[in-house]
Each structure stands twice: as structure tokens, then as C-alpha cells.
Amino acid sequence: MTQFLQQLINGLSIGSVYALMAVGYSLVYSIMNFSNFAHGGVIMFGAYFGFFYLTLFRLPFTVALLGAAISTSILAIIIERTAYKPLRNRKAPFLYFIICAMGMSIFLENIIIALPFIGPTFRTYPEIFSKTPIKIGSLAIGRLDLLMFIISSICLGLLVYFIDFTKIGKAIQATSYNIKASALMGINTDFIIITVFALGGFFAGIAGVLFGMKYTVYPQIGVITNKSFIAAVFGGLGSLPGAVIGSILLGIIETFTSGYVSSQYRDLIAFVLLIAILVIRPRGLMGKLNEDKA
């Protein structure tokens, strides 16, 4: 029982960080109908931004975290402007967007490797939070795990509020349903696209820092973030609640596999899950259905 609860807590913690990453995939997909594979690169940049803000500039943790989030937010906007906007202006097919995103992802990874002061070395975040876990009865909760869960939950809560209760949030929902109709409402769809990239980038930065603290920072960290893409597909691409639920489930499945089977099977199970979902329910747990009547 203790082990079960322990694994559940670990699963929730890592799942909530996956959720932060997955909402970025889902937000972009919901508006632009393509999977933005450059998102992993943005998350990786977030890990580096956070690392250097903490070590080089010796900023306090909260400032470094926010700084990383703002930096990746700007990075995501730059990617949109330079890579995707030209394609949109030419009304390119969606496949081109995906290929462009993959190219961008490789570019981001390699620019880090190429930069002389960063390079391919693995880096470890300084120890900000004590490694001694908090004991509750026989349960040991890592301080970092708890922090990951709390920060992710706050971010996701803010996102839900923003999407459901603000005017821009409603405009994002409208644009995700039909981009032409939303332009007819006077919504500046170009601005909505920028907003969506900025939001995704912001959460990517936070997720990158948390991920970097939990593990290590290296240029290929974006590959691991593919799992959050799996979570987004699992939950239903384009659906925010789907992305969150899919991520939490993936996190729990992963930790349970590591805990009860073997950590070597962890990723195997994650990918088998993706394939199974795609076979059984191609639109994911909560993917959108077309409800157009006319």
C-alpha cells in the first residue's frame, strides 16, 4: 500500500510536468491543426535558460523560473514568425508545417551543441531544494516532486482560467473551432496565433526548468519531451483537458511500470500505449468531434 501511494505521488508529479508540456502541443494544434515538434526544442531551451539564470546570473529561483518562461515565450513567438507565418501566408498544406517544425526542432538542438560556451555536455542544476524528503507516516515525498506538482498545478489552473473566463480565451476557443468565422467576429487571428505560441512557450519554459532540476540538462532533452506529445495525443490533440488527463495518466503509468515491472520497460509501455490508443480511438480520450451542422 505504501509503495502504491508512493508511486502514485511520483506519477502525479511527473505527470503534471508532462501536462505543462502537453498543453503547448495541444494549444497550437487546436488552432493550426499541426503538431509543433519544435516545442521539445523550446522546452530544452527553457531548461538551459533556467540553468544559466541560476548559475551564471545567480538569480533567485522564482526570478530564474519566470525569466526562463518569458524567454521561451519569446523564443516560441520568434519561431512562429520566422518558420510558420511565411508558410501560412502562402497557404501551405499542413504537412509542410510539420516538416518545418521537425527541421526547427533539429535546428534548436544543434544550435545549443554548436554554441562554444554551452556544447553537448550534461549539466546539473545546483541544489536549490534539499534532497531530504518530507516524511508523512511511511511515505517519503521529495521536495522537488512536491514543488513540481504545485507549480504545474498553479500554471494549469491559470491557463484554464485564462481560456474559459477571459475574452481572449474565448477568442482562442472560437478560433480553434473555425478560423474564418472568428475573423468575421473581428478577432485578429494572427494575434491569437501569437498568443497561443506565447502561452505554450511560457509553460514550456517552466516545464523545462522543472525537468532540468529533476534530471539533467543536455541538448537532446527535447527527445524525452516527446512523451508529453504522446500524452497530448493520448488525451486527444487539441483538447486542453485531454492533454492534462492524458499527461497525468501517462505519468502514473510510467511510474507504476518503473515501480512494479522495470524502469527499462517504462518508455516501451508509453509508446505501446500511444499505438494502442491510435488504433482503438484515433481521436484520443477527449479529442474534438466535428459538430458542424450545415
Per CB under 8 A, the list member of 85, 88, 143, 170 interacting with other proteins is: 170
161 binding other proteins? (CB under 8 A): no
195 binding other proteins? (CB under 8 A): no
Q: Residue 34 and residue 11: Cα distance in Å, rounded?
A: 28
Closest to other proteins by CB, 266 or 288: 288
- At residue 281, what are phi and psi to the nearest 5 degrees? -140, 85
Q: Least CB distance from residue 23 to other proteins, whole Å?
A: 17
Report the C-alpha dihedral over residues 117, 122, 127, 129, rounded to 10 degrees. Answer: 120
Return the range that interacts with other proteins (CB under 8 A); candidates 34-42, 85-93, 168-176, 196-204: 168-176
194 binding other proteins? (CB under 8 A): no
150 binding other proteins? (CB under 8 A): no
91 binding other proteins? (CB under 8 A): no
* Inter-residue contact 22 to 232 (CB < 8 Å): yes
Host H or E run for residue 66: helix 61-79
Per CB under 8 A, the list member of 19, 75, 171, 213 interacting with other proteins is: 171
* Inter-residue contact 45 to 209 (CB < 8 Å): no
Is residue 31 left, alpha or beta, with left meaning phi > 0 and alpha meaning psi from -120 to 50? alpha
242 CB-near residues (< 8 Å, 6+ apart) = 26, 232, 234, 235, 236, 284, 285, 286, 287
Torsional sign, CA 111, 113, 115, 121:
positive
Closest to other proteins by CB, 170 or 266: 170
Q: Least CB distance from residue 201 to other proteins, whole Å?
A: 24
294 binding other proteins? (CB under 8 A): yes
31 binding other proteins? (CB under 8 A): no
Return the range that interacts with other proteins (CB under 8 A); candidates 95-103, 184-192, 228-236, 263-271: 184-192
Q: Residue 71 and residue 248: Cα distance in Å, rounded?
A: 26
Q: Least CB distance from residue 127 to other proteins, whole Å?
A: 45
189 binding other proteins? (CB under 8 A): yes
Task: Point out which residues pair with 141 in neighbouring strands.
Answer: 134
176 binding other proteins? (CB under 8 A): yes
- Work out the end-to-end distance of the chain between its first and last CA atoms, rounded to an integer number of angstroms: 54
187 binding other proteins? (CB under 8 A): yes
Q: Least CB distance from residue 290 to other proteins, whole Å?
A: 8
Binding site for other proteins (CB under 8 A): 167, 170-171, 173-174, 176-178, 180-190, 288, 291-294
